[in-house]
Structure 1
Amino acid sequence: MSDRPIRIGVQLHPQQADYAQIRKAVIRAEEMGVDVLFNWDHFYPLYGDEDGKHFECWTMLAAWAEQTSRVEIGALVTCNSYRNPNLLADMARTVDHISDGRLILGIGSGWAERDYTEYGYLFGTAGSRLDDLGEALPVIEARWEQLNPAPTRKIPVLIGGGGEKKTLKFVARHADIWHTFVQGDDLAHKIDVLRGHCASGGRDLADIEISVGVGGRGREGRLPDAPEVEGRPLHDLGARLFTLGIGGPDYDLSVAEPWIAWRDALNAVS
């Protein structure tokens, strides 16, 4: 875990903006040197005008795959409930090829009830949605083994969430990246829980990149602390991917600049 380089991610919230504004933000983020660009998988805005402009996740990722040449791309995160897992595996494989091997499959169990009810999906319970995710993950992996052509690489799987009995067990079994928003003592505790699940499954925790959300210009508008203040304690606990959320329509990416500089400084001496 300690040997991993620091990476900086940006999640561009695909809401309250025209697509031309999103496209410009993608170009700017790659030019700045961001390592990973995420969107999210929802059908309606998560804040602001609840009926405001919003765009679909996976068609957007395919466009980003053509538009960019270096940055990794993915959803933070895909809702497992919205697509048959075999179809999702094929979609991911296709975007993987379009991007020349830069896709991350971010996935979670889902939570936004309006998405489910408006689009006709069964909302169920938090437990049933997690059970569905647990069933889907090996199906996705098996489909990747059958597709022709095969994915260009082992597509990294990112699992979001922090449930200790189910989600972190899925992370230990299936994920290359674990994403969370918890920090401090809560993060230390959950890493210990994840370490235990890895040990039970015969896996090394060091195989899993720990990703942490550190705020940004979106949702409630909380700006992250300076990376030396907020990022260093997370880094010391094992986090290596630090992701900032950026809202539209202006997509002010200046908040990422100190984090990119911090990344470069620490990676240069590691």
Structure 2
Amino acid sequence: MKFGLFIPQGWRHDLTDVPPEQQWEVMLSLLHYADNAAAGEAVPGGEFAWSSVWVYDHFHSVPVPSAEATYEAWTLMAAFAAASQRVKLGQMCTCMSYRNPAYLAKVASTVDAISGGRAQLGIGAGWYEHEWRAYGYGFPRAGERLRALDEGLQIITQMWRTGSSGKFDGERYQVDGALCYPQPLQRLPVGDGGAEVPSIPLWVAGGGEKKTLRIAARFAQYTNFDGSPEGFTHKSAILEQHCRDVGRDFGEITRSSDYNVVIGENQAEIDDRFAWIESHFRKHAPGDKGEQEIANWRKSPLVGTPEQVVEALTDLQARGMTYAITYFPNAVGDRDQIELFQRQVVPALQD
């Protein structure tokens, strides 16, 4: 199993205790930490704990919009690319409709060049209606947003592989000869012959069973959907059927999920961390939405001691979840949870 780490960027009210002039330094410090963090001593050869770092692609905070800082995802990708050496760099997930796909292909390819071939493209149809409308995108019905995702991925993959969009005349997007140089440094096999072409790994996020998972079957090297044991098993079966329908090898796609992690050496530590979560969200998101956020934390499969978290991940791994992207509460002020996880959980699951 591989592990990714979300870097606090403000979207989940996770920079509220940091003065604005220090927020970039906090993000940079955690990036450097992940870039250099070795797993526990039990791992032969001292493998690195974190394969990747991640940010969200959102403009307004959750569970309620606020005046708290929310740093823009692809600006951070470029900064992370220049400021790190090893970890892969992802977004979970880029909203297709926030950027023209030809432009997005160019941005992602530039980040890949800056990073030396470490960019990932997490991509989805988008859902946060408040920021859609606030930024003037309207809020098309789900079918239209999914059409944009499908057409956009056709354009992006064509531009990466060939350097040009060619002429594309879709219902949502029209491009004619958009160039993408530099092409990505990374190369991925395509077709039955396995010929490699320039491309950035695509993580198609979302669990929509009729359309999103079918789009994933066509385009994705990675998926990201429901991380509960039952939900993950169900979505995996739907994805496998779509792969059969489109003639794709299901085994080619790595299945991932995102997880809130609350970990402690004992129940007292876990209770203390939940007390912080409750206090934090009742302060910054009072009311029903804040209470729902607290409930979501309590429902996470990855709550408990290291032994309990390993047990939960072992079960998920048996179901085919082989890439966990983790988010820790109060990461800017309490790095102990991250260190405990990488010391006692990662070695038990790492490839």
| TM-score calculated relative to the size of structure 1 | 0.90
Residue 150 of structure 1 corresponds to which residue in structure 2? 183
Aligned CA-pair RMSD: 2.0
Describe the shift of the 1:163–1:30 C-alpha distance in structure 2 as closer, same or farther (beyond 3 A).
Answer: same
Q: C-alpha offsets along residues 135-163 of structure 1, whole Å, 9 cap, x if unaligned?
A: 11111111112123321013100011101
Alpha-carbon distance in structure 2 between the residues aligned to 1:203 and 1:233:
26
Residue 18 of structure 2 corresponds to which residue in structure 1? none
> In the TM superposition, what is the alpha-carbon distance from 1:186 to its structure 2 partner?
2.0
**Equivalent residue in structure 1 for 2:346, among 240, 263, 270:** 263
**Equivalent residue in structure 2 for 1:28, among 12, 26, 33:** 33
Residue 126 of structure 1 corresponds to which residue in structure 2? 142
Which deviates the most, 90-99 or 9-18? 9-18
Contact 1:227 1:258 in 2 (8 A): no
**5+ residue gaps in structure 1?**
1-5
Residue 11 of structure 1 corresponds to which residue in structure 2? 6
Alpha-carbon distance in structure 2 between the residues aligned to 1:152 and 1:89:
13
> In the TM superposition, what is the alpha-carbon distance from 1:128 to its structure 2 partner?
1.5
**Equivalent residue in structure 1 for 2:55, among 19, 39, 49:** 39
Residue 167 of structure 1 corresponds to which residue in structure 2? 212
Contact 1:79 1:109 in 2 (8 A): yes
Describe the shift of the 1:253–1:181 C-alpha distance in structure 2 as closer, same or farther (beyond 3 A).
Answer: farther
**Equivalent residue in structure 1 for 2:256, among 193, 202, 211:** 211
**Identical-residue share of aligned pairs (%):** 32
Deviating 4+ runs (over 6 angstroms) = none
Contact 1:244 1:256 in 2 (8 A): no
Alpha-carbon distance in structure 2 between the residues aligned to 1:240 and 1:109:
23
Alpha-carbon distance in structure 2 between the residues aligned to 1:7 and 1:259:
13
Map of 1:22-171 to 2, 5 A cutoff?
A: 22-32=27-37, 33-47=49-63, 50-144=66-160, 145-146=162-163, 147-153=180-186, 154-171=199-216
The question of 1:178 aligning with 2:223 is answered yes
> In the TM superposition, what is the alpha-carbon distance from 1:251 to its structure 2 partner?
5.4
Higher relative contact order (CA 8 A, sep 6+): 1
Describe the shift of the 1:49–1:251 C-alpha distance in structure 2 as closer, same or farther (beyond 3 A).
Answer: farther
Alpha-carbon distance in structure 1 between the residues aligned to 2:333 and 2:225:
23
| TM-score calculated relative to the size of structure 2 | 0.70
